[in-house]
Amino acid sequence: MTSIAQQYAHIRSTVAVYTPGASLVAISGLERSVVLGRVLAKDSEYVEPDTARDTLILDEQGGIWDAVIHIELDSTSWLISQSRTDLADLVREAAADLDDVQVVDASGEQTAVAFEGPKAWKIAENLVDFEISSLVLHGVTAVDLPGDSGESGVLTRIGTTGEYGYLLLAPTSADPFGSVLKHAEELGGGTVEDQALARARAEVRHPQVSEQAAGLTVREANLEWLVSWGREDEFRGSAALAASSAPERGLITLRAEAGQLPAAGAAILAGDVQVGEVRVVFPSAPDAGELALGLLAKPFDVPGLELHTTAADGSAVTLTTVSSPVVVPQSWTERIGA
């Protein structure tokens, strides 16, 4: 098994392959837009076919239930839940009073395969019959799978690490994961697991709600961009969201020197005054320092402050609040086709 450092290198220098999400749900029927409007925090009324986007699902108290990827096709809407396995149950409940909606838990029949990294486009270009650079961010296209399976799928350009990212959705019987992984290994890449992904995502502040946002409001977690504010229609958690007060604390990225790993849950001090706590500590990455998320009282949740906490062994750790991205992804300076 490769180390976290090797997996992180796949993400930042070649291509990393993984299976995104905990559940995969297909919604079809003439009234599916009603279900999407009830469930998703982003407005879905004017979503164009052949597009993909990130959004949230809230709980009834206006808290964060999960983050999802929404892929919209002509006749089907696909939802990929980041951490919840009961997404299909939630969607069925929202569709219970509607006649023309079909909700299918497709996790066994379909496979979603994500591949991200500066060389990810080299895999994607083998799946399309046009110049891969013309598939814009959040665009979706139908593809024929390689080999003799005769199966087809959909490819969308969407990612979580700041690098070039693509997601292939295809029948499990065609082994799309194996096909993508084979090409990734030819490029020097390979599979990547949750810890390395968490580190890379944290560097660009992609939402990872299971750990980072548990028990927080949307605004405390700084995830306002995943909600359509000012909607006139009701959606799950909208009443509680509208009634919520301005947050008194917020999440901020924290950086420490290499080897100075803060302890999760440790108090964060400004001088002798506690101003928050370490929320999540991420794995170390080569030559990139230590990284964590802190939940800090306002106005301390801003970049450029020097604060203090302790490591697991009780030693002192100096923290700096930083803006994102913490690193500049290689894909930002290496164009597709180079």
Q: What is the pLDDT of residues 104-127, one digit of tens each?
A: 999 989 999 999 999 999 999 999
Q: What is the pLDDT of residues 256-267, one digit of tens each?
A: 998 898 999 999
Residue 210 has pLDDT above 80, yes or no: no
Where exactly are the structural domains of the chain? 4-198, 248-333
Q: What is the pLDDT of residues 166-184, one digit of tens each?
A: 999 999 999 999 999 999 9
The pLDDT score that the predictor gives to residue 288 is 75
The pLDDT score that the predictor gives to residue 32 is 96
Binning pLDDT at 50, 70 and 90, where does residue 146 land? Answer: confident
List 38's β-bridge partners, or say none: none
Binning pLDDT at 50, 70 and 90, where does residue 70 land? Answer: very high
Burial class (CB in 10 A: 0-12, 13-18, 19+), 67: buried
The pLDDT score that the predictor gives to residue 215 is 82
The pLDDT score that the predictor gives to residue 258 is 87
Residue 212 has pLDDT above 80, yes or no: no
- Selected from 3.40.630.30, 3.40.640.10, 2.40.30.110, 3.40.390.10, the CATH number assigned to the domain covering 248-333 reads 2.40.30.110
- Strand runs labelled E in the chain: 16-18, 23-28, 51-58, 64-72, 76-81, 102-105, 110-116, 140-144, 152-156, 165-171, 190-191, 249-256, 267-270, 273-281, 290-297, 306-310, 316-322
Give the residue, 312 or 226, on which the prediction is more confident: 226
Binning pLDDT at 50, 70 and 90, where does residue 43 land? Answer: very high
Residue 139 has pLDDT above 90, yes or no: yes
Q: What is the pLDDT of residues 191-206, one digit of tens each?
A: 999 999 999 999 999 9
The pLDDT score that the predictor gives to residue 297 is 97
The pLDDT score that the predictor gives to residue 213 is 74
Q: What is the pLDDT of residues 5-27, one digit of tens each?
A: 999 999 999 999 999 989 999 99
Residue with tokens 């849950």, as numbered in its chain: 265
- Averaged pLDDT score across all residues of the chain: 94
List 301's β-bridge partners, or say none: none
Burial class (CB in 10 A: 0-12, 13-18, 19+), 288: middle
Peptide bond just before 247 cis, omega within 30 deg? no
Sign of CA dihedral 196, 202, 208, 211: positive
The pLDDT score that the predictor gives to residue 20 is 94
| Rounded alpha-carbon distances, angstroms, from residue 297 to 64, 96, 251 | 20, 42, 9
Q: What is the mean pLDDT of residues 222-234?
A: 92
Fold of 4-198: Gyrase A; domain 2 (3.30.1360)
The pLDDT score that the predictor gives to residue 1 is 62
